[in-house]
Structure 1
């Protein structure tokens, strides 16, 4: 093969055909669908996390805090100073 044959071959390879345009359209269509699917999955996770956070916050607010027992150190401190401190 000489240089002229290679130049002709490369020129033919660079020339788009109708099949090339169809392939590009199929690629871009698949790419858009994949991006849309990823975006929908991400939106689903975010809404699930927000709903979970709202449920936990609601339960925390509605349920009263348990009465925590006084620690032994606090009992000794209170007895040393008396009840009226």
Structure 2
């Protein structure tokens, strides 16, 4: 089961028609990698369904710096992660 918060992308992957969008080549590559799998589902979840991914995406938009975390998340993201686990 793969989940994503971009309904447009999930719909494009789930459609059997060729994807002629700007990102169509990526959709086709995803389909090619998942074809051999016995079971593979792509499901849309609202961004509230994965608060950590949403917080990471917002961090990228706000900061042009490159951050690397090896052992621990930054404190602000660690809080989001722990709240996400609790739900």
Whichever structure has more helix as a proportion of its residues is 1
TM-score (norm 1): 0.21
Q: Which has the higher contact order (CA 8 A, sep 6+)?
A: 2
Q: Look at both structures and tell me which one has the larger radius of gyration over its CA atoms.
A: 1
Whichever structure has more strand as a proportion of its residues is 2
TM-score (norm 2): 0.20
